Structure 1
Amino acid sequence: MFLLHLAWRSLANRRFSALLTIFAIALSVTLLLGVEKVRTEARASFAGTIAGTDLIVGPRTGSVQLLLYSVFRIGNPTSSMTWDSFQKVADHPRVAWAIPIALGDSHRGYPVLGTTTDYFDHYRHGRDRALAFTQGQAFAGLYDAVIGADVAREQNYRLGDELVLGHGTGSVSFIDHADQPFQVSGILAPTGTPVDRTVHISLAGQEAIHAHWHHGMPPRPQARGHAGHGHDHSHDHDHDHHQPGAEQQDVTPTTINAALLGLNSRVASFAVQRDIDRFPDEPLMAIIPGVALQELWSLLGVAEQALFIVSVFVVLTGLIGMLTAILSSLNERRREMAILRSVGARPRHVFSLLLLEAASLSGLGILLGLALMYGVLWLAQPLIVARYGVFIPLTTPTTRDWSLLGLILLAGVSMGCVPAWRAYRQSLVDGLSIRT
């Protein structure tokens, strides 16, 4: 206990270099644990985003790409499937339910998803948890919108508020649908998934705002005026008809981007997947979400390992910095060691003193690094969700995290043996030398 107190006093006398050493170790620990935390929690977040869905169907593209844009709202669909094909797939005898998904619009950077009310009945996340409403209900009118929890909180939306959708999926849209605003009919409870940052509208509503568009471009002003001719001076109290001419439009969707399927039996997944891959009307593909996720992790595995190795070398660099700082101070501390020997300290006490200093520096660096890691994650959490749709929860360190921290502490103590042994040898020499 006396040696520990002595080690603390010695570090306090060299506080500036000690603080720099602690901070260097803390930064390296923050990087190592941060990489590990993001890796494990991102996998858990991705796995918990969708549950209970047996197959995802879409136009033929990469399985990872289909998974990313249909479930995680990452990337953009490059093609679409026809509504007729979706209906035929939904009528498959082994399909229990089917949820259509249409993308392509946004609202202030939030993706807009066109679907049906089946989405709120059958979509599951986490451990088979259903979507729940904190306010309102699913869309019933043509221009109703259901928003996620993050959209409501960040934009301060309430039931009945109007929102204008923009064409395209970017954060800034140069073409909007200001003449056809939507009203918030429901607000979903937080899920910790991309659902929280999504605006949900009906497929009919999505079709209505793109009526008379050609090749992705809005109609000319005269065409738009002609579409609403005869209704410019009317004011219907029903929200469905607040857009002139909307009640006369054919709002049956023509195309969608993907579909989520639930089967009568999961055993039939491969059989239904084979039937869809052989679909005669157009080239379609069906993927199993779990298999596609494993493919994604295999693609990212090399990058994960590379980041981990870089983090380990950064930690080693921090510990070598500590070793250098202690070694460089040994010659200056020979007088201190001689005084300790003169008051009865043995060479082993000198060895233990230097070892305790190295352990203290390593331990404080680890604790500060742990605190920094949680602080950075807390600050970056909303940014990660906004940009990548991945929620990184602030959970307690895992067994693997504690193992890594233990190895770092052990490595710090092991490196501390080098200056401790040199101090031990110097104290022996100084104790044996004859002073006149």
Structure 2
Amino acid sequence: MGGGPFSTGGRIDFEDYEPTVTAITYPERAASPALALAISPSGEAAVVFFTTEKGHVGQARWLGASWEPGLDGTDDRVRTVTNAWLSEDGYRSWVSYEFARGSSPYPLGSEIFSGGLPFGVTTSIEEFQLPYRQVSFEKPPLEVVLDRSGDTGAAFLDTSRFQYMVRDWSVPGSDSSYVLPHVMAALEDCPSALISLRDQVLWEDARYDGTGITLSHIPVDGAFMSRLPRHTFVPFGLSYSASSSVWGAWRVVPPASDSSEAFIRFGLLRTGGDHLIWEFPTIRSPRFIEGGGLTVSRDGEVAATTWGYRLANASAVRLAWIKNWVSNEGITVPLETPSLCRVSAPALSASGHRLIASAHCSDGRAYLLAPNWQLSLSDWAADLPKIALSDSGNQGFVAWTEWVPGDSRYRIETRVLVW
């Protein structure tokens, strides 16, 4: 165990005893450090996708007792996997991946697996594969996120335009002449994006009403509301509850010439514009570290956010949350390393009673974090560990890759968590 977290915001509102941890090294090695992990709501099934030595999508499938290999994907042009999805019954899975440089006119592809068998692969942007149907993109997608059903999604295209999909319907979103800092999320019939326009944050909300998709552009925060005319507003988290309440999180960053410090705001977003926003001024930081995010529990009672920042001689992770409409400034988790560290978005159980996150530092250290405990995972991690929790919060998975001296490939490490 590493150094313990400490709180500056009152009591910790989570059931948070340490899990039983089972370490499993997957026998096959990966050609790229990035993994993609997805879990079924029950926790009985999970899948880890990786890049094989031959440039295919490889997969390790959890079927209740161990990781079992599925067949490799059919595309041999894979550079790295980016995102994963798994059906509720654990039978159908989907992965998006970046193509190897020069091997495709498109940046992103996808492949479907049914029972571990290759089932469908992207051939063009007009026939891009989602889990249950094809979608026609206006331009090549750079990023795609899906809801739990696999029938609703949001995409960021290489023209800096957004596109939203619900079943057989699709609608274009905002576009720009430059890449917009953004986060995307999707709930059944409700995809959306939180977008930085530099001096403000815009929520682009798409909703399917049975006859088509209605798109709304809703200001959330910015110089026009905050009396901070020179600050930049940068979103880093967006999440839905099961009842379609939407929460967002963003950094408010002063210009380089300003001696004031950046800080965090997050809150409940409402289509009418009367958002409920909380600010955390007592935990300002002059330097934020890459990563972090926001997650809302399925019941909508808990919204938790993570971000990284610097202490005097070490990196740290901050966990803060709002529970039953009461904000808690949360805890600081020092990582006991002077290296820069990246933190994941939190994973929450459906009722919000359990929370975990991960961190990866430039010196190779990796950690699993929770409000009351901290587990050192590795000194050789090559990427940010992927995390997932079941709805009950009784089972979780962690997966990451490690550098192997003298080997150009990466070892795949997993941890099975049981409470």
TM class, shorter-chain normalised?
under 0.3
| Greater helix fraction, Structure 1 or Structure 2 | 1
- Tell me the TM-score normalised to structure 2 length: 0.22
- Tell me the TM-score normalised to structure 1 length: 0.22
| Greater strand fraction, Structure 1 or Structure 2 | 2
